[in-house]
Amino acid sequence: MSTAQRKGRLPAERDDHYMRLDGAHIVGTKALLRVKENIRSAIDTKAMICVYGEAGRGKSLAVNTSLRLLAPTITHRIQFRARPSTRDLRHELFYALRLPGTPPERPIEFDRVLRSALARTFRVLVCDEAQWLSKQCFEYLRYLWDDTDTDLAIVFTGGNGCYRVLQNEPMLESRIYAWQEIEPMPTDEVLTVIPAFHPIWEAADPDLITLADTEAAHGNFRAWARITHHMLASMKELRREAVDEELLRWTYSKLKGRSPA
């Protein structure tokens, strides 16, 4: 599938894993199960919801996993790496909705095209990395959602910046149906989740998992995926069959850059 065809679609399960980590499984963390419930009710009620929290805690993976299950064919994703203008946002929507032809030149015409497309059939719009959206962009999405003819649910996913903008604008805040902050996993959850996440941790000593979490991962899923990636490489290089403290300590040395002067 070409990039243009992929635009706006949910990623494949494998692409949701940090650096496509070999052998990794998606685990039903408490956060993921709650995201699924919140998305289910957003779909049922055609609402806007917000899933937020710090980097690497599993927001995008939880939202994508839930939508692959609940609404794979009607989900359209937009995602930003830098601060978009409303013009960029209109274009992103045009491509994510896979509308035919070329994007209209004039904003009025553009709005008409987007609104009529969003009125044709019910869709779920995911705005990932929503901390990049300005107040004007959020307002534009609210305008599309508010339109009595359009038929959509919106899932905003992003860092704490996204939470702040939405909370600071009563027009937006009051329209968000549910808020969910993704917190770091507590140690007792880490001890059940990590052995199910990857075969190298399946038979690992719980003390070793606790040690890695206390010293390096701190309940952050991306940190766990990164450690696992390094551990796998070391095991291959050193021809080891199992994880142990020595390997773990060796892995730490790769995780941190130079200490601040």
- Which stretches of the chain bind ligand ATP, using CB under 6 A? 16-18, 21, 26-27, 29, 32, 55-61, 159, 197, 221-222, 225
Q: How far is the CB of 197 from ligand ATP (least distance, A)?
A: 5
| Binding residues vs Mg ion (CB under 5 A) | 60
Q: Where are the alpha helices (DSSP H) in the chain?
A: 3-6, 30-45, 59-70, 86-96, 107-120, 135-146, 160-168, 170-173, 187-197, 199-202, 206-212, 221-237, 245-255
CB of 201 to ligand ATP, least distance (A): 12
Residue number, 204 or 229, with CB nearest to Mg ion: 229
How near is the Cβ of 128 to Mg ion at its closest, in Å?
6
Shortest spacing between CB 222 and ligand ATP, in angstroms: 4
Query: For ligand ATP, which is the closer residue by CB, 29 or 251?
Result: 29
Residues forming beta bridges with residue 51, ordered by sequence position: 157, 180
56 is in the binding site of which of Mg ion, ligand ATP, none (Cβ under 5 to 8 A by kind)? ligand ATP
Residue among 60 and 150 whose Cβ is closer to Mg ion = 60
Instruction: Using alpha carbons, select from 69, 75, 71 the residue that is nearest to residue 97.
Output: 75
Cα separation of 36 and 182, whole Å? Answer: 13
- Spatial strand order of the sheet with 176-181 comes to 75-79, 123-128, 152-158, 48-52, 176-181
Q: Which does 201 bind (CB under 5 to 8 A by kind): Mg ion, ligand ATP, none?
A: none
